[in-house]
A and B are shown apart, each in its own frame.
Chain A
């Protein structure tokens, strides 16, 4: 069946921070730009970003992009590509000032310059002392950024397709990307969006874990589509976790609670951090606390009927201290854990926050794959930016505030690369393959026609519980091996999902099933990549290989859906203009 085709110069999938920054650049240049989004752009997950944008503006004292670069390389535990990191840190001040000109209401100093707040890991003079580098708009930085960027796009006439879900990538015989198929929720119609260039800015897939701070939309859609199109995924074993999210909900409980005197208990009522960190106890660093919590749970000392959470006790602080110093926490615990922390401890678990890996790109935003001996051969017409892309700037662990810096810099950089490519393509679109769209139609038809298949909610729950238990913040070899088997065993369910609702209009059951197929690819890539990496680096923390191993593992993972094949490619340790920042121990 021939599908309707809508032709654009550029097709952008996802309209959060990265997508909006890119679409603005392209539509400003006079191109015909389509931006597809499952939800209204200003309700993308970028809205949740509070910390700010990292950029060495030097408004609060001396700062330099080179120091920002050092902090980012060190944060990445040397897995970040130093050309991409230099590029981002050099570009950061420029994109922040542009954003100011777009009307972003940054907090200000008395002299009118943008105020910058301190943030963990931001240092002056290559780790010597803290520096204030994060530009913010109160605690609504992401929200303000989305609104400023959306307004610019309205002005430059980006065409938004809201409540559309992209389904699959269309590639021609040479592997060039020619656009996507997409489903309109309002009608259930499937349409081809043909672009001379296509950008994925679909965000992260943090919902692969049972405990996640990510909104429900973060299902790894772009990553799943990319895997199905035969393109590998890079460094998917690296996910940033926070030690204390409300068990069963994911809502964050700030580290300030432990700063104020709160502490963690296992099921025996033991203050176990005294064993793991006798001096710092509950105030040890995030990774130490997370590792201790995971160990207690693994060794059968977790709390609750399934022994799968830890208790955070703060009632001993008294109602006055809690109300005065931690009011938001009391609200959150009552609302999301159904617990009043003045009276009872809060159930908490290490909670997934950010995806470091993703679709492999260079710092131009071009998607790159190994081909003919070249480890980074460009996939013509295909670009990725923001959390779904892996340039790789964050390597094994992201420095705080670099998520917004990344989406601004890589959103713009991708768009500039796309401009050149679109110009070179000329006025005409290439011919679509004859079977373009057939794959998506067959996937949707299979869902609609399935009887006696797997339940979507149940399957999603199994994936999330498997990932949390077997591939969480602290990874045990036996659990990883079992996890690989368990995740592979779910393939059959994912391929045979059944939905009760067969209607065309706003069929949320169908959308959730299609999302789940993307989530599965994201989870499988993570599990396989994590089991294979026999070292501890950044956010990938193994109980059996407890050191970073630069001799064997200073390299990026590439996972292919086909046969779960793994390949590796070298980390680029050579920056663009400065000296290499050589690997050393990552201590703070």
Chain B
């Protein structure tokens, strides 16, 4: 995965809600700059969600639409 593309995703992990900022801060700390292209694609799509919907997913109050998103959401829930 191109380092600049990862940086872009890092920036898009800056959200309007503090709770999400904290979740993504932990996620990036765990993942560093390493990221598989497939996961990057799923993350990019998740980051397009409105903040409240994304928070509902991460807090387990809602379910992701597809298996790939669900797997990444589980990762975010675990951080």
Which candidate, B14-22, B36-44, B63-71, is the interface stretch facing chain A? B14-22
1/0 per residue, CB under 8 A from B, across A119-152: the answer is: 0000000000000000000001001000100000
Contact A215 B15 (CB under 8 A): yes
Determine the residue in chain B with the shortest Cβ distance to A327: B61
Residue in B4, B23, B50, B59 whose beta carbon sits within 8 Å of that of A143 in the complex: B50
Which candidate, A44-52, A304-312, A433-441, is the interface stretch facing chain B? A44-52
Question: Interface residue tally of chain A, by bracket?
Answer: 35 or more
- Give the residues in chain A near B59, CB-CB below 8 Å: 331, 335
Contact A506 B4 (CB under 8 A): yes
Interchain CA distance A335-B58 in the complex, whole Å: 10
Determine the residue in chain A with the shortest Cβ distance to B8: A506
Residue in A39, A42, A505 whose beta carbon sits within 8 Å of that of B14 in the complex: A39
Summarize A's interface: helix, strand, loop or mixed.
Answer: loop
Interchain CA distance A47-B60 in the complex, whole Å: 20
Contact A140 B16 (CB under 8 A): no
Summarize B's interface: helix, strand, loop or mixed.
Answer: helix
**A506 and B22 contact, Cβ closer than 8 Å, known pairs A47-B17, A217-B16, A331-B59:** no
CB of A547 within 8 A of chain B? no
Residue in B4, B18, B52 whose beta carbon sits within 8 Å of that of A215 in the complex: B18
Contact A43 B10 (CB under 8 A): no
B contacts with A, residue count (CB < 8 A): 22
CB of A254 within 8 A of chain B? no
Contact B4 A249 (CB under 8 A): no
Residue in A48, A186, A505, A507 whose beta carbon sits within 8 Å of that of B17 in the complex: A48
CB of B74 within 8 A of chain A? no
Contact A506 B18 (CB under 8 A): no
Contact A46 B18 (CB under 8 A): no
From residue B44, how far is it (CB to closest CB) to chain A in Å? Answer: 13
Residue in B18, B23, B60 whose beta carbon sits within 8 Å of that of A48 in the complex: B18
Interchain CA distance A521-B25 in the complex, whole Å: 25
CB of A285 within 8 A of chain B? no
CB of A94 within 8 A of chain B? no
CB of B34 within 8 A of chain A? no
Residue in B4, B10, B18, B60 whose beta carbon sits within 8 Å of that of A251 in the complex: B18
Interchain CA distance A506-B23 in the complex, whole Å: 21
Contact A48 B16 (CB under 8 A): yes
- Give the residues in chain B near A501, CB-CB below 8 Å: 7
Contact A336 B52 (CB under 8 A): no
From residue A250, how far is it (CB to closest CB) to chain B in Å? Answer: 6
Contact A39 B7 (CB under 8 A): no
Contact A511 B11 (CB under 8 A): yes
Q: 5 tightest CB-CB pairs across the interface, nearest first?
A: A47-B16, A506-B7, A216-B21, A43-B16, A506-B8
Return 11 A-B CB contacts under 8 Å, by A number. A39-B15, A42-B50, A43-B15, A48-B18, A143-B52, A212-B18, A215-B21, A216-B21, A335-B19, A336-B19, A511-B11
